[in-house]
A and B are shown apart, each in its own frame.
Chain A
Amino acid sequence: MEAVKDWLSVRMVAEMPWLWAGLAAYAMATWTALEGIRLRAAGAMPAVTVREGRVLFWLMLGVGLLTVSLAQRWVRIGHGPFVNLFELLVSQLFSLGLVYAVVYWRFPQVRPTAVVVLPILWILGLWVLMLEPEAVPYPPTYYNDWLWAHVGFGKLFLGFALVGTGLAGLILARAHPRLEPWLRRLPPDEVLDNLAWRFMLLAFVFDSLMLIAGAVWAQDAWGRYWSWDALETSSFLTWLALGGALHARLAYRVPLRLGAAFIVTVFVLAFLTYFGTPFYSEAAHKGII
């Protein structure tokens, strides 16, 4: 009981109820998406359509609630969600949810990917629940407009890469005999593969823009546009991996499942860049603030 009290006492701040509500909405979206896959496997397409509408509803509701959570925190601590791991996670939960919701709405072919994408969001959701919503001072070098461009492009990059990973995840999941019956009625692997790489190429465009905006910000903030710090090295390797995967697909007859594995690898690299680096550098670019 004392442990629960302690856990709650450090979390009783304005943004937390909205965050919990947002995560609950994402949980409902995940559950409904799983239901949709079950109905699709049974061929009940009208029911699938209804479930897809509900997934979109829960997803948008979650994004809305997380928006309020971010706004509450911004008002409480006086700066945007750019500095510590808690802020980065909530911010990504919001932006990944938003990008995915828009894609989900506009591109019906990707809707089955919700069963892959939403659990990935849940990794972030569970992680953020373990962190305290502590506020840290805003570094002076963050008062720079290029930070917004850098972060914005980065969110679009990761969002589109997440969609590509959702599609690749379906290809890989269908290769498993126990999962195949559930995914049999999805578009053919060739179509999923084609769509996945389109999203990955789109991600590549925004990854490149993110690196450019980050370099301009770094030049203003620290007097050099590139210095191979942990985050820069990791993000360059991600860009290189994605570029390499796109070229490998053109150069070789890459089997669909191997191509899907490439996509998942690129996403894992991007994920580690965003959320792995904070393990040894609590603030992004901490070493040079």
Chain B
Amino acid sequence: MSLGRRLASLKLTVVGMLLLAVAVGLRYGDPDRVSVWVLVIPMALLALNLLAAIATNPRIHRRGGLLAFHVSLLVLVILAAIGRLTLYEAHVELLEGQAFSVSQVFDVRAGPLHSGELHRVRFVQGPWTVSYSPGLVRGPTRSTVHVPDGRGGWESRVVGDDTPLVLEGYRFYTTFNKGFAPILTWIPDGGGPAYTGAVHMPSYPLFDFRQVNTWTPPGGPELRLWLHVDAGLKGDEAWVLDGRRATARLAVRTPEGRVELEPGESVRLPGGVLRYERLSTWMGYKIFYDPTLRWLFVTSVLGVLGLAAHYWRRFGAGWMAARDPARSGRDWEAGLGEAAAAVRRRS
């Protein structure tokens, strides 16, 4: 028997599937300690087995639908591998009114063959709302973004939850991570240039009780900031989180003690003056890029359609003619060729 035929063995398929099942179980049980190769090796074995079967097995060749299904499985494995190599995943937090920039992304996970076109993505974050059911159960997120309309202007889109913003193939998904950000200006002593920035407070309302962060202005001391937000939060009623309706006082620790500021107020600190300009919001996005998505879908659907076509050609109309043997003699044999033949041989 040739090597190709040995590799195409159905028994090897069964062994490969068993190994893959064990690997999936091991990896699920302890994904940190079990190497990804535990999954890759049985998958590679199955892919090799499949390739050999497609090349040498006449039973697959004769049946177009079955061939389509098995080819699609092989293509899916290849596409999934390409997807891993070209993948890009990251997170970004955008302030209302802020334009997206690659420099803001973090938690980046990019495949070695990723083309790096994220710098071409342009959009500006607008206002957003999140609805909550009683008990603070998160409902729909509606995030407005402004994207170039291709005619030199901007158009607004509303994204959120299962509706990502898709630009240049990159998919931006809103996350549960979103909150408030005080806009601050630091005016250094001695007449240097003023510096305005935003401090992203922890996710809201998840950390309603802990809206604390630190900020070190250029040339200034590290500042510890607290934000006292009034967003109308009602835990036992339906509620909409809308940054435009929220107000907040900013507390700052100074050498003399603690000072609370309303928007527009300032406080003198060692090295300069800190002004609380206004309250803003930020939205956290997950960025996902995989150029194979569309092809994975098309391939898998074609494969299953092939399997369905094979099924219909093999079993389609015949078996409906089969009848209960106790009632109609041997009529039940109709459409059940192999099984009926086996029974005849036995009797």
Contact = CB atoms under 8 A, between A and B. Distances in A.
Interface string A90-119: 000000000000000011110100000000
Interface stretch (B16-24, B143-151, B177-185): B16-24
Given A190-B339, A223-B173, A141 B162 contact: yes
B13 A251 contact: yes
Contacts of A195: 319, 322, 336, 339
B138 interface: yes
Interface stretch (A121-129, A199-207, A274-282): A199-207
A140 B161 contact: yes
A191 B325 contact: yes
B236 interface: no
Contact of B10 (A217, A222, A240, A251): A251
B31 A240 contact: no
B1 interface: no
B308 interface: yes
A247 B13 contact: yes
Contacts of A215: 296, 300
A272 interface: no
B343 A190 contact: yes
B13 A194 contact: no
Nearest to A244: B17
B232 interface: no
Contacts of B304: 205, 208-209, 212
B307 A140 contact: no
B25 A107 contact: no
A79 to B, nearest CB: 11
A111 B10 contact: no
A188 interface: yes
A251 B18 CA distance: 14
B14 A212 contact: no
Contacts of A137: 133, 135, 137, 139
Interface size classification for chain A: 35 or more
B161 A198 contact: no
Contacts of B300: 208, 212, 215
Given A191-B343, A220-B162, A233 B24 contact: yes
Interface string A142-160: 0110000000000000000
B106 to A, nearest CB: 16
B11 A205 contact: no
A185 interface: yes
A40 interface: yes
B322 A188 contact: no
A141 B175 CA distance: 11
A87 interface: no
Contacts of B137: 136-137
B339 A191 contact: yes
A194 B340 CA distance: 9
Given A223-B286, A233-B24, A247-B13, A40 B342 contact: no
A45 B327 contact: yes
Nearest to B141: A140
B117 interface: no
A4 interface: no
Nearest to B301: A212
Interface in A220-240: 220-225, 228, 230, 233, 236-237, 240
Given A209-B304, A228-B28, A244-B17, A194 B338 contact: yes
Contacts of B213: none
A247 B8 CA distance: 12
Contact of B14 (A194, A223, A228, A248): A248
B324 A225 contact: no
B13 A190 contact: no
Contacts of B21: 237, 240-241, 244
A107 B24 contact: no
B338 A233 contact: no
A240 B17 contact: yes
Nearest to B18: A244
A243 interface: yes
A186 interface: yes
A140 B324 contact: no
B163 interface: yes
A212 B339 CA distance: 33
Given A140-B140, A140-B162, A248-B14, A109 B322 contact: yes
Given A141-B162, A195-B336, A220-B163, 20 more contacts: A107-B319, A107-B320, A137-B139, A140-B160, A141-B161, A188-B325, A191-B336, A191-B339, A194-B338, A195-B339, A204-B307, A205-B304, A208-B304, A233-B25, A237-B24, A237-B25, A244-B18, A247-B14, A248-B14, A250-B10
14 contacts: A40-B326, A48-B327, A108-B322, A190-B340, A191-B332, A191-B339, A191-B340, A198-B319, A205-B308, A208-B300, A237-B25, A240-B17, A247-B17, A252-B11
Nearest 4 CB-CB pairings of A with B: A194-B339, A251-B10, A244-B17, A223-B173
Interface of B: 9-11, 13-14, 17-18, 20-21, 24-25, 27-28, 31, 133, 135, 137-141, 160-164, 171, 173, 286, 288, 293, 296-297, 300-301, 303-304, 307-308, 311, 315, 319-320, 322-327, 332, 336, 338-340, 342-343, 346
